[in-house]
A and B are shown apart, each in its own frame.
Chain A
Amino acid sequence: MTPPPLARRLLRRLLPEEVRDVLLGDLDEEFERLVVPSRSHRRARGWYWSQVIRSLPGVIRLRAQAGRRRSGPNEPVRPGRVLGQFAADFRYGLRRAMHQPSLVATVTLTLALGIGATTSVFALVQIVLLRPLPYDAADRLIAISEVDTRRPNSGGTVSYPDFLDYRAQNSTLVDVVGYSGGSRNVTGIVEQDRVPMTEVTDGFFALLGVRPALGRDFESADMRDQSPPVVIVTDGAWRRRFGADSRVIGRTIGLSGEPTTIVGVLPRDFEFPLRGLAELFLPIRQTDSQRGRRYMHGLDIIGRLRPGVSPDQAAADLDVIARRFASIDPQYHPAARASVMRLADQVVGSVRPILIVLLGAAAFVLLVACANIAGVLVARGASRLYEIAIRSAIGASRGRLIRQLATESLVLAIPGGVVGIILGQWAVRLFVTSIPRAQRAAVPHLTSISIDPVSVAVSVGLVVVSVIAFGVLPACQAARDGDRAALRARGGLDARRVRLQSVFVVAQLALAVVLLAGSGLMSRSVYRLLGTSPGFEPEGLLTARVNPSFADAPRVTAYHQKLLEQIRALPGVTSVATVSQLPLSGSGNSGTFKVVESAGKGEGSIQQESTAAIRTISPGYFAVMSIPVRQGRGLSPEDRRGQPLVVVVNQTLAATVFDGRPLGQHIVFPFFDGRPAWEIVGVVGDEQIASIDRPMSPVVYFPFGQALNGDINLVVRTTADPASQIRSVRAAAASVDPSVPVYSAETMASRLSDSDAVFRRRSVLMLVGSFAIAAVLLAAIGLYGVLAQIVSSRTREIGVRMALGARHAHVARSILARALVPAAAGLGIGLAATVWLSPALETLLFGITPRDWITLGVVSAFLAGVAALACIVPTRRAVRIDPVVALRQL
């Protein structure tokens, strides 16, 4: 009977040598003599195992005591000694650094670039993605959306009755609240303006856990149809529009003509990125028709999970409620389904892929920087071999040498790290201010960006990691060399060192390829996006909004007509028209319609319904926008009240609903009182209504004369620069009615280039592009460094060859061959990595695939060119070596 071998081996392995044999001997003796005879085999083995396992803490103590004895005779190690060593190394590193200003400058610049890039992007990630939304227990907030599987384009919003059902019937949520957007003409303040607002249901702020800083929250009494209108303003609006006057509570302002009392001011840190620009919050004062109109979708709803309830459970719960709608309202909710996502995901969902791409790109820059510095340090290690050898010879252990060299790397890293962190924090601010206001407001925390301790801590961590990355590897290499180098001549070329340096060059080139390819893909996407025809001519077009909010229709009509006349009369204006919503400004108003078969088959036989975007335009709209009329006619001034009701549709709608032959067909929209049928009299070319990177969608155009709309967007075609006409358009509008403000005056070209679709890609392009440039530069410097070193160490050899008759071309070829391998390897690995990684960019690309061979080809050619440039100087130096001078060095 022997002890269990595994247990014994384990113990033997762990015990310090001094006690190993005696301890194991004692244990074996007891096992054999006392335990085995008295117990069964199994229990004896169990006893042995329990001894081994219970001995582990003692074994650890034994090892520690043994280690202490070894480190000095009976002298316990004090942390002070290690610290003292560190301080000495640090001072030594500092002294060395002072004598090598060029090295310090190189490392500082390179590292500052890498740390700066990473810090800035990480600061954004931390602020936007990691910091929770500024609400109470924000992780329990969910966004609920309702889609109808049988009604395409149903946008996820719900109707007021739907909302009430979700609120009353769910069993998983603390509460459900709703909101919807819009804007109001504000009067009764210094500068009247059109101001974005959000209408909310009762309990909205309570659900978010937000209390007004001044005044009160909405009460349920504020929500009734007949209750006096009240408004809560944001802190920003309070400061900007009301001079931060604390007596603002109780003051009455005009909101689109309705006197409204200010009852509250929101706290300074409040933000609601889903309606980021909103300055006013109004209660939804539901009317009877709102309560009844189940088809009128337009409310976004959010809920708060009860404690312990998961979003999935809530989704299942709400879906049951949504499925019931089919029996209550089969016409407009034939197949309603509810789904939920965390509110935070809804808020930052669209920026997350961008930030992750940027973070990856920044990490690559940092890696390139580290590889570059590591290359420099390896090269420098050669000149220190002698010193290391001496230190090693007088008793420095390998670990001690590595500690010393790593500490010196830390000294070198500190200035770069500090500059990088400052640069990064500064770059974040610069970047955030470059974001158009609307996009900035849609992202949480961006409006109040400040130095974030977490991101600074992470940056400091990055510096330390970089030191380990670029400092310790060369230190290990140098320490290992030191063992053998004592007998060797100083400064000679070590093939292994050059190989290691080449590895760093390969890594840098590969990383540069990935970054360059990424920015190449982005730039092609942006180029294609800007080259895509939006379906109209954006150049020379000025846009602006007015919203007369008059109660009576004749006044609106008269205002509209006069406005067009005044603007048309302006010098430099060739034509002008209006539209209820500008193209490229989001999907906006849409409606469901049905096709009514015309007389032949009997009125009222109804085909399947379809959804289309709805725009109300003035007669000249298509001409102003240069949208071609493909069939039938456009809309004319004759299409007004009292005349037959007509609409024009776009090509997409004509093709998808009517197989291209819509003329003479009648369609019915339920939201018009009396449900009249509209005849389709024309088909026009598609224009991009929502965003330039989406597919064309169906649109129905109503004539302004027959479908009045308070939202009036001017489109003005000018001969000169449209931006120069803004002032005169404002003046013309003021001459028609000074009480109606003109706002959002902007050229169509800048709308296009500031649009979310373009901006998202352009910002990624800018950042990744600058990262790529930095990476390419660093890689080129790295390649140059390796070659230059090879040339200088081979000077004598080359001299001998030339003296023996080698030609310049031969010498050049032999030098270039040394560059060829790392360059080719870097390109190859980089291309492979790009092919592997580029699908991550997919959502940001437009009109090209992630593996766009043209981009990859151009990038490879470019980098090959850069590599060739990096080779020129060292190669020239090699061929110009004078054999006489070189040989004299022998």
Chain B
Amino acid sequence: MDYLGEFEQIVLLAVARLGNDDAYGMRIRREIEDRAGRSAAIGAVYATLDRLQSKGYLRARDDDAGGRARRFFAITPEGIDALEAARDLQARMWSGLRMPLKRPGRKT
């Protein structure tokens, strides 16, 4: 299984948060902007969605809601595995570290 890149993780999490009926391009972009405080270009979001889809972590479904073409995304079991693996990896790397981390060169 591939490791997820940071932005891939963010996009995947946004899809998971929004749920099956709400996860389409514009909402995903908003979610990232609101939650992560990070402005993302729609092109970048779509490129990542496309990539996640080709990795099998997302499924897409096209729907005409209110006359406008929308592509809804849903996370697959593989996607959930990948997210969990990513979180586990982080947890393993964090565990045992005393908080807050000691900063170099600063006397307290």
**A residues neighboring B (CB under 8 Å):** 11, 19, 21-23, 25-30, 34, 51-52, 54-59, 61-62, 65-66, 69, 74
Contact = CB atoms under 8 A, between A and B. Distances in A.
B62 interface: yes
A51 B43 CA distance: 8
A55 B41 contact: yes
B8 to A, nearest CB: 12
Nearest to B66: A29
A58 B45 contact: yes
Given A22-B62, A55-B41, A74-B54, A29 B46 contact: no
Contact of B29 (A26, A28, A56, A61): A26
B46 to A, nearest CB: 5
Given A51-B41, A54-B41, A25 B69 contact: yes
Given A22-B71, A23-B43, 7 more contacts: A23-B46, A26-B24, A26-B26, A29-B26, A54-B41, A58-B47, A65-B50
B12 to A, nearest CB: 16
Contacts of A28: 68
A550 B9 CA distance: 98
A23 B44 contact: no
A5 B44 CA distance: 21
15 contacts: A11-B43, A22-B25, A23-B25, A23-B46, A27-B25, A27-B42, A54-B43, A55-B44, A56-B43, A57-B44, A58-B48, A59-B43, A61-B51, A62-B50, A66-B50
Given A25-B68, A74-B54, A55 B25 contact: no
A22 B42 CA distance: 11
B70 A22 contact: yes
B26 A61 contact: no
Contacts, number: 74
Given A27-B26, A62-B50, A21 B69 contact: yes
Contacts of B59: none
- Secondary structure at the A interface, as helix, strand, loop or mixed, is helix
A23 B54 contact: no
A62 B47 contact: yes
B2 to A, nearest CB: 13
A29 B68 contact: yes
A11 B70 CA distance: 17
B62 A55 contact: no
Given A29-B26, A51-B42, A19 B50 contact: yes
Nearest to A28: B68
A26 B43 contact: no
A58 B54 contact: no
B54 A19 contact: no
A26 B70 contact: yes
A74 B56 CA distance: 11
Interface string B21-45: 0001110011000000000011111
Most buried by B among A22, A27, A74: A22
A26 B49 CA distance: 14
B54 A30 contact: no
B25 A26 contact: yes
Contacts of A27: 25-26, 42
B26 A30 contact: yes
A54 B69 contact: no
B97 to A, nearest CB: 35
Q: 10 tightest A-B contacts by CB?
A: A55-B43, A58-B43, A26-B25, A54-B41, A58-B47, A58-B44, A26-B26, A61-B47, A22-B71, A55-B41
